[in-house]
Structure 1
Amino acid sequence: MLKTLAAACLTISLSFAAAFAAKSGIGDLDRGYTRLLISECKLRGLLRSQCAYVLATTFHETGGLMTPVRETFAATDRQAIARLDAAWAKGKLPWVSSPYWRQGWFGRGYVQLTHYYNYRLASIKLGVDLVSDPAEALAPDTAAKILVIGSKDGWFTGKKLSDYINLRGADFLGARRVINGTDCASKIAAHAVAYDASLEQTGYGVAEATPKIAAR
């Protein structure tokens, strides 16, 4: 009974959050490169609810810009490195064991591709040399492929979109594990609800099952 009540409260709270999100521009399918991302999702066969989560992730990771960005939202590579060095010197990156950014492997794209091994993996998967030219991860088309294919196939954490979002339902909370554990999971789940509603209005995936938000 308590679990049922908790799940109901969660669904209601996410609904309110989704309504607030819509007023903040979340769910706007014409912002930045949103339409490009939708096209990539369709090309890769993503369900509407999966596409919604991709867009929600993008909104969160890009600060609502819906364009590829550098880590720290720097305007240049030099500025990104300087900002990360400053944060490192002040002890603000306790989870980082070594300054990966100094060789240019800082986050780039819609989903912050980070570290040499991830750039190398994406290079192999896409047939694009991101090791010699990591800045290519900022190109809208390349960044879209990294985000969409990476999320679908589980490049980032070993977890795939389909592990949480499929025709049986949409666990928008758990899906954060595809990208980054449970960091800001509730916030991004609310974004996904708003994007799913917008995508439904466009006719994306009209034949698929109606997604349900599962609590975790």
Structure 2
Amino acid sequence: MEWKINQFRTVTLIVGVMFATFAQQGLAETCSAIKVTNSYLNVRSGPGTNYEKIGTMHSGEYYIATGKTSGAWKQVWFDGGKARWIYSQSYTSTAKVNCDVVSTAALNVRSGPGTHYRLVGTAPSGSHWAVIGSDGVWKKVWYASEARWIHSGYLGNGSSNTAIQLTGFNINKSAANTSSRFVTVYSTYSGSTPIMYRISEKSNFSGATWKAFENKITFTLSAGNGAKKVYFQLKNQQGRLSNVMSDSIAFKASSSAQGFNIKRKEFYNKFRATFGRLSQSQVDGINYLLVNMEKDTRPAIKNKTVWMRQIAYMFSTTKHEVANTYKPITEYGNENCRRYDGGCRYKGRGYVQLTHKYNYRKMSSIVGVDLVSNPTKALEPNIAYTVMSYGMFYGVFTGKKLGSYILAGKTDYVNARRVVNGLDKAQLLAGYARSFQKIMEASTVAR
């Protein structure tokens, strides 16, 4: 049905069919709306003609009433200011439409379906809007007598079948304390299925990125002893956001004397006798690795023999993957990276040559940096070491863990290669590991 108003304004409405389609898709709840039937209708700041005129509605537009009335005057959601008033008698009718409610503090209203479109105002929390169209996660509404757009991720009061609700969230299964910055978070939810999550120690999620949802999620707490409060939120396929939940845990780094130190003089004497001379750059790289290995709590810090052999295999892997530089590097060439998830942007980087977009995504939450958006940060030594150690000991790369091949009563250097890259060069790295084992045995002492 089409009307031409004042020869300048054309409003096209697909009545019934359009709203029925939205209802079938579950995009919005049903509300009673005020439909403008006059060619135009003044909108005022209060219930009377003596109040300021704010704007004008036009025939065929739909608005949702707030529930407040004053005689024939009704208050409706019209723009980003306070709810406005219209004289409803003889100029309006009622209709059932699909609508949605703003569930965030304030929702940006844009001129088109995307954040690159012009910002034209905001819709306050709790305000209802008649849905007249959609484009992906964006919904079109009448706003100040113009067809405008709002993001559906911030809509919904829980009654819609596209809503998602966090029903539980905890850190390390509600443990009160942890001596490790690496924790596991668990969540439960109701409503629609989540596809993304975000997590942060900041209540406004500043700096946090949305990541693919998993049932078991790892998170790295900030450095420094003390109570840590972590915030968590989900997002579903329709772009709707869940409520935010939080949990707290007290972090205190272990002060135990458990663990081992590496005597540098003995280490380098044996190293040079085994592999030959070293450049200063190589020495600098090795020194950085030694410092991190000594304070790493993921290897077997209670068993000297196992610890030395696990460290030996980490050194073996590093030697091979970074071509004897002992520093994080980028994979040479582009021949192999074309088959990686995400292409050459996610080519090998670091000590263990982190590859594939999905692995960069997995490691982002572990290192506390968005490696998907900033893949070259995988070259930073502190990040590269965490990627290598966490990935090898927790089986992130291939599902295989280093502790499954090197443990008390078992040392399988050949199959330990499966932790990073199947059996590629497995015999070569096993030979390196046996050499590094002798170096570690000549230099390792208990704390």
Q: Same fold (TM over 0.5)?
A: yes
Residues 117, 177 of structure 1: alpha-carbon distance in 2 compared, 3 angstrom cutoff: same
Q: Name structure 2 gaps, 5 residues minimum.
A: 1-270, 300-306
CA distance in 2, matches of 1:165, 1:179: 14
325, 348, 353: which is aligned to 1:65? 325
187, 201, 209: which is aligned to 2:442? 201
Residues 204, 63 of structure 1: alpha-carbon distance in 2 compared, 3 angstrom cutoff: farther
CA distance in 1, matches of 2:298, 2:341: 37
RMSD: 2.6
359, 376, 380: which is aligned to 1:135? 376
Pick which of 111-120 and 35-44 moved more: 35-44
**What are the residue-to-residue correspondences of 1:4-15 with 2, within 5 Å?**
none
CA distance in 2, matches of 1:171, 1:154: 16
- How much has 1:193 moved relative to structure 2? 1.1
Matched to 2:292, the amino acid is: E
Pick which of 126-135 and 168-177 moved more: 126-135
Q: Deviations over 1:182-216 (max 9, x none)?
A: 1111110111111111122222569xxxxxxxxxx
Of Structure 1 and Structure 2, the greater helix share is in 1
Q: What SS does the corresponding residue of 2:421 show, helix, strand or coil?
A: coil
Residues 130, 96 of structure 1: alpha-carbon distance in 2 compared, 3 angstrom cutoff: closer
- How much has 1:164 moved relative to structure 2? 0.1
CA distance in 1, matches of 2:445, 2:358: 35
Match of 1:122 in 2: 363
Matched to 2:366, the amino acid is: K
CA distance in 1, matches of 2:391, 2:445: 21
CA distance in 2, matches of 1:204, 1:135: 36
Give the structure, 1 or 2, with the largest relative contact order (CA under 8 Å, sep 6 or more).
1
376, 383, 390: which is aligned to 1:149? 390
**What are the residue-to-residue correspondences of 1:1-216 with 2, within 5 Å?**
22-24=274-276, 31-42=283-294, 43-46=296-299, 47-72=307-332, 83-84=333-334, 87=335, 93=336, 97=339, 100-102=342-344, 104-204=345-445
- How much has 1:23 moved relative to structure 2? 3.5
- How much has 1:122 moved relative to structure 2? 0.4
- How much has 1:144 moved relative to structure 2? 0.7
TM-score by length of 2: 0.34
Match of 1:11 in 2: none
CA distance in 1, matches of 2:398, 2:277: 29
Contact 1:55 1:192 in 2 (8 A): yes
CA distance in 1, matches of 2:340, 2:390: 28
Of Structure 1 and Structure 2, the greater strand share is in 2
Q: Deviations over 1:15-48 (max 9, x none)?
A: xxxx9x924569xxx6342232233333224111
Q: Deviations over 1:45-91 (max 9, x none)?
A: 4111101100100000111111100011xxxxxxxxxx31xx3xxxx
CA distance in 1, matches of 2:425, 2:340: 24
Q: What SS does the corresponding residue of 1:141 show, helix, strand or coil?
A: helix
Percent identical among aligned pairs is: 35
Q: Deviations over 1:163-193 (max 9, x none)?
A: 1001212111110000111111111011111
Determine which structure has more spread, i.e. the larger CA radius of gyration.
2
CA distance in 1, matches of 2:313, 2:443: 16
- How much has 1:96 moved relative to structure 2? 5.9
Q: What SS does the corresponding residue of 1:129 show, helix, strand or coil?
A: coil
Contact 1:34 1:55 in 2 (8 A): no
Matched to 1:186, the amino acid is: Q
- How much has 1:128 moved relative to structure 2? 1.7
Contact 2:308 2:437 in 1 (8 A): yes
- How much has 1:134 moved relative to structure 2? 1.0
Residues 24, 188 of structure 1: alpha-carbon distance in 2 compared, 3 angstrom cutoff: farther
Residues 49, 96 of structure 1: alpha-carbon distance in 2 compared, 3 angstrom cutoff: same
Q: What SS does the corresponding residue of 1:31 show, helix, strand or coil?
A: helix
Q: Deviations over 1:139-183 (max 9, x none)?
A: 111101100111011110000000100121211111000011111
Matched to 1:64, the amino acid is: N
Contact 2:316 2:436 in 1 (8 A): yes
Matched to 2:393, the amino acid is: K
Q: Name structure 1 gaps, 5 residues minimum.
A: 1-18, 73-82, 88-92, 207-216
- How much has 1:133 moved relative to structure 2? 1.2
Q: How many residues are paired up?
A: 166
